[in-house]
Amino acid sequence: MKTTVPTAVPTTRSSHRLLKGLCGLAVAGTVLISASAAFADGASDNSVPGATSKTVSGIQAKCDAAIAVRMTKLVQLDAELGAAGNVTADHRAALESTISVTETNLASLKTQIDAATTVAALRPLCTSIVVDNRVYVLRAPQVDVTIRLDNSAARTADRQHQAAELQTKIDALKVAGKNTVVAEADLAKMNTYIDASQADIAGRADSLIALTPASYDADHNVVNPFRSSASKAEIADGHAVYWGARTAAAIIRLH
């Protein structure tokens, strides 16, 4: 005799909707991971502007140009931050402050550079453009990677909600006498990857934002572990989506 499924069991339509959503996320996740692998800071700021120039005017021109491109980059970073919907209020405020302070530093340097009258006075000012600000190798990845980390945090919260929905469906099917072993195993794997993603991002954005130009000068690879954490979290999320889709499919088969 066929077992009658109680009304508490979620409808096949809702299971299909969840499966469709998870499959769509799986495709999007593949694109995201590919984009993350290609992540790069852009221009380098390890060379001192004006270093090869011999005249005051020549050095001033090159150092002013170096400041100008960095100012443009900071404006771009501020816009990128403003458009990032998942960045937390604390992270946003801290990064906006860093961008503002860096802009102030560069504006002050330009004033001093334009007023300098000797090559000897200009050299340390031009060096400061790079070593005391680190726009490309530090400030840019602080913004970009923080956005990635906070995006991962938001996705992890979504996956937890989806996993809870799937668990509710499985529990109802068990009450109805269905064999949910496969669905439960798939959901367990989904939860494993959710936990992994959460572990990869825990506290990482705060630590990244706290880095200073001196941190970079002490270790030019200081940002790399944060990029790695962001990539690992994105990959784990892709696996979570995959196993969530498998779980939803297993649930549908039991209706």
3-class secondary structure for the chain?
CCCCCCCCCCCHHHHHHHHHHHHHHHHHHHHHHHHHHCCCCCCCCCCCCCCCCCCHHHHHHHHHHHHHHHHHHHHHHHHHHHHCCCCCHHHHHHHHHHHHHHHHHHHHHHHHHHHCCCHHHHHHHHHHHHHCCCHHHHHHHHHHHHHHHHHHHHHHHHHHHHHHHHHHHHHHHHHCCCCCHHHHHHHHHHHHHHHHHHHHHCCHHHHHHCCCHHHHHHCCCCCHHHHHHHHHHHHHHHHHHHHHHHHHHHHHHCC
Confidence at residue 14, expressed as pLDDT on a 0 to 100 scale: 60
pLDDT tens, the chain, 255 aa long: 444 434 444 455 665 666 666 755 555 554 444 333 333 333 455 577 766 768 999 999 999 999 999 999 999 999 999 999 999 999 999 999 999 999 999 999 999 999 999 999 999 999 999 999 999 999 999 999 999 999 999 999 999 999 999 999 999 999 999 999 999 999 999 999 999 999 999 999 999 999 999 999 999 999 999 999 999 999 999 999 999 999 999 999 998
Phi, psi angle pair for 43, to nearest 5°? -70, 155
Would you kindly state where each structural domain of the chain is located, as residue ranges? 8-42+148-255, 46-133
The token duo for 32 is: 């995201």
Buried b (16+ CB within 10 A) or exposed e, 113-138: beebeeeeebbebbebbbeebbbbbb
Taking the C-alpha atoms of residue 147 and residue 209, their distance in angstroms, rounded to an integer, is: 11
| Per-residue confidence (pLDDT) for residue 76, from 0 to 100 | 98
